[in-house]
Amino acid sequence: MSLFKRAAVSEISSNASVVLSTLVVVWLSVVLVRLIGQAARGHIGADVVVGLAALTTIAALPTIMALSLFIGVLTTVSRSYRESEMVVWFASGLSLVDWVRPALRLAVPVSVAVAALTLFATPWSHRQIEDYRARFDLRSEVSQITSGDFLELDSGNRVVFVEPSETNPDELGQVFARITSPQWHAVINAQSARTEVAPNGDRFLVLVDGTRYEVRPGSGETRITDFEEFAFRLETPNADETLAQARARALDNRKARPTEMLLQDDSSHSDGQLMWRLAIPIATINLTLLAIPLGAVNPRVGRSFDLFVAGLVALLYMNLINASHGWINSQILPFDLGVWMVHGIFAVMTVFLFWWRLRMRKPKEPHVGAA
């Protein structure tokens, strides 16, 4: 490999790696904040936050990798123009077209990796996310109780609020509970609580040293009862049924369907999802080649405008892919046309920009005044 190609490949890979790591860190930060908020509200378990964040990142990685390589090529070419390094390469007999081979040397393996992610890893990650949420639903209701939060049990017929225990952090402290039934509405206060498992496997929440206030709806009849212990049964979901429902939900979501199932399904929604999985690897190569003429800037002019235009072009490309996905789902656009239409438009744009950068302008003829 020539000195030019080695230098180009090295700098592009270095810049793309920096951009990739930065985007992944930013993405993880946003996802972790969202998931921690859901865990604080009791929607997911705190122990699955890291796993869900990793799976969500796998699903977003194809787009991040494509954009990272695009920015890596763009910044490398623009730096060479800005620091007049391209003048040296041009004087050595090279042209802008010679950037294609070193760019493709990186783009082709990255595109293959992106294809593996979109066709296999991304659907798997969506299925695993559903399994994580199903396993959280399988946990007993009392294990979902968070100190300082209200928790609805039995479809809202029972509401429990607990304080942390002052003596044992593994136990529940003071408890407030509301229980509604067709006959009575009850409010219960207790000093502490614990869980017990009956011989038949049923789980109970046992409230200790409290008072039960009951009102019969419509009659105004009231009962007040002091108790040493009061227990009510906790519903524990069936594991096999819950996991089966989760897997069924995952397969209903076409993002989680294996690619072979999409190929066997003739529906327009499956065609749209298949188009998206094929589009990102193709877009990786297209964006890499498009970054070369977009990065060819005038060193005497500020670079902000050119980089802004390049960013808009990449954003337009991704938005058109998503739009084509929606058009195929709505049967507005045929699958055979939707797979190649956007890529064909941007491939033509790339060829035109190369021609625009490489064209030779005819010198102006000197103006000869009339004798």
| Token pair listed for 128 | 């695993």
pLDDT for position 371: 42
pLDDT given at position 58: 95
Residue ranges in the chain whose pLDDT is less than 70: 1, 42, 134-149, 153-155, 168-171, 201, 234-252, 299-304, 360-371
The pLDDT assigned to 138 comes to: 55
Per-residue model confidence as pLDDT tens digits over 235-259 = 655 545 555 665 666 566 778 888 9
Residue 57 corresponds to which tokens in the numbers above?
């990142």
What is the pLDDT, as a whole number, of residue 300?
A: 66
Read out DSSP for 76-124?
HHHHHHHTTHHHHHHHTT--GGGGHHHHHHHHHHHHHHHHHIIIIIHHH
Distance CA 16, CA 72 (A): 4
In three-state secondary structure terms, 348 is helix
* pTM, 2 dp: 0.75
pLDDT single digits (tens) 277-332: 999 999 999 999 999 999 887 766 655 677 788 889 999 999 999 999 999 999 99
Q: Is 210 left (phi over 0), alpha (psi -120 to 50) or beta?
A: beta
**Per-residue buried b or exposed e for 47-64, using 16+ beta carbons within 10 Å of the residue's own CB:** ebbeebbebbbbbbbbbb
Vertex 311 angle, CA 305 and 314, to 5°:
145
Cβ neighbours around 157 below 10 Å, total: 11
What pLDDT, on a 0 to 100 scale, did the predictor assign at position 370? 46
In angstroms, the first-to-last Cα distance of the chain is 60
Asked whether 173 and 194 are in contact (CB, 8 A), the reply is: no
pLDDT for 133 equals 72
Tracing tokens 């623009």 back to the chain, one arrives at 78
